[in-house]
Each structure stands twice: as C-alpha cells, then as structure tokens.
Amino acid sequence: MQADDRKTVIFAAGGTSGHIHPALAIASEIRDNNPDVRIIFCGLAGNIEAEMVPAAGYEFVPISARAMPSKYYPWFYRWLKDNIHGIRTTRKLIKKLKPILVIGTGGYVTGPVIMAASQLKTPYVLHEQNVYPGRANRFFAKHAAHVFVINEKSKENLGDLDAITVSGNPVQPIFYNLDKEQGRHAIGISEDRFLLVVTGGSLGAERLNKAISGLRDHHGWQQLVKDHPELMIMLSTGKDQPNSPEIYEGISNVQVTNYLYNMAQWMAASDLVISRSGAMTCAELMALAKPAILVPYPHAIDDHQSMNAQSLAELGGAIMIKDADFNTE
C-alpha cells in the first residue's frame, strides 16, 4: 500500500455486518464532507467485511484477529498469536500512513487496530451500537479521544467518561429515504403481496431457519397460503448456516438466500420483519418505522441483544420473543 499526501482515516470494523454497517455510514459522511480524505478499513480477509468494504468503494487491508476465547486453554495461544500479528500489521500501516484518526465500531477486529493506535499515540474514537457495550469498547473506552453511544443507558453502562456523547446509531441514508413502494419496485415485489422478511443477520440464526424449514410439513401453513396466496416469506439464512435446496425445497411461498446484500430494499418492502436483535438491525427498523418480531440471540455476550430488543419493544416498535419460545407454530 502506497503512502500519499492525503489525510487518512483508518476504520476498524468487522466480524459481522452489525459492526460494518455503522462504520460504512460514518465513512460515507466523511467522504461526502471531505472527499480528499483517504479512508481505509482493516478487517479479516475471510469475513464479510472483505466483500462489503470494497463494494462500497473503500480500501481494505486484511489483518489477523481472533475473538477472546471463553476458555483459556487451548485457544488462548491462537488468540494471542493472531492478535499480536494483527497489532504488528496495523502498527506498520499507521507508521506508513500517519492517519489523523482511527475509528473503531466494536467487535474483535477492533482490538489489534485500536491497540496499535494506542501504542503509537494515534488518536482514536469508538462507537458502541449496543445498550450494553461490548468487551473491546469497554476495554479501550477510557483512553479514547471520544466515545459515541446510542442512548443514556449505554452511556451509564460505560461508567464515568469525560469524552462521551449520545449520538444514536449511524444508519446509512438509504434506510431513511426508502419507502415501501420504492422498496417493492426495487426488488420486483407486487403491491398485493404480504411480505415477511426473516433474517438472523450476516451469520444467520439456526432457530429462525429451523422455524421456517418446519413449514414444509406444517398443515396450518399450507392452509394459510391456500386461503391467502398473497403471503410471501423471504428468508436470509446467513453465511454460516446451510441453505441447501433440500432443506427448504417445496415450502409454499418461501424464498431463501444466504444473505441479502440489498437488505434495505427488502426491509422497506416488507410488511413485517422477524429477526435477531442486533443493534444495527434495531436501528434500521427504527429508521424505516417497520414493525418487527425480535428473537434475541440467547448466547450474545452480556445478553446485549435482549437489552436491544427490550429498548425497541418499550418504544412500541417490536414484540420480543425468547429464543426458546420461537418455533414453527
């Protein structure tokens, strides 16, 4: 990668689309207001950010990173090795490009990048998308130049910080600009359809996928679509979940894909969304004013998805159902 005379901003974002989308939204604002600024993303080569970032028109630099293991042995060595390598790679990048700022939006990819920035005295800011902050942001928040959070609860959960602002989640403009008619026109869905979008995010949700696959032999569903042929389900299984034809083949009025890259259009076009309650999903639902059934991932760190879902439910924008209670019925 060549150095040049432009001012540079480095983003640390990856792992899931929930960490990438806010970074892309922030980057878009920077690019629109400061077109001469060079924007570079650091992430994992095999993750979804390696596809999404170049597609959005930004430079992408692969680094090594690994999530903190729940059990120290035998994974601790791999975690240490990968993250040390990621720190070294990022240090070289920072020394070469001398960025004016490093921006982290959470997730384990943030760790090596922010650590390198801290070691080299490069200012960094953090954005936390969840009500309860993730481990990486909690660890680095104290020495950040500034921290941005989604609401007062999130602010309280980070403790006593001087440089902290309640900003909300940075949602890409398309979620504010699309209406239902425009969404349906974009994806080719007629106005008489009742569209249900089911998604577990970029990694998928086995619980949601099994509930939909169970419709194949469900008499109630067969009768429902017979009486209401306008019903349609679009299921995004997630990149980490199987979506082979034999699992979903023959289910009436159900379409399946592993990932909806045009999620904004599908969500805008929908009548109802069923999903996990990642922070960005909740923010996008609010931007679209779209009703939802939220099924929090029960094993999320610090149960932050339940907090996200509860916040939206309290505003009247969603119904929350526990993972154990969600099934084909």
Q: Where are the domains of the chain?
A: 8-166, 174-325
Residue 280: its H or E element: helix 279-288
User: Given the structure tokens 């306008």, which residue do they identify?
Assistant: 230
| pLDDT on residue 219 | 82
CATH number for 174-325 (one of 3.10.180.10, 3.20.20.10, 3.40.50.2000, 3.40.50.970): it is 3.40.50.2000
The order of strands in the sheet holding 124-127 is 59-62, 38-43, 8-12, 101-104, 124-127, 146-149, 164-166
Q: What is the reported pLDDT for 242?
A: 64
What is the full DSSP assignment across 11-53? EE--SSHHHHHHHHHHHHHHHHH-TTSEEEEEE-TTSTHHHHH
Model pLDDT, residue 136: 85
Q: For residue 58, what pLDDT is reported?
A: 97
- Model confidence, pTM: 0.77
Read off the pLDDT of residues 151-171 as tens digits, 9 standing for 90 and up. 898 899 898 898 999 998 998
269 and 195 in contact (C-beta within 8 Å)?
Answer: yes
Examine domains 8-166 and 174-325 and report if their fold is the same. yes
Write out residues in the chain with pLDDT < 70, as ranges: 1-4, 70-74, 240-246
CATH number of the structural domain 8-166: 3.40.50.2000
Residue identified by tokens 């090594």 is: 64
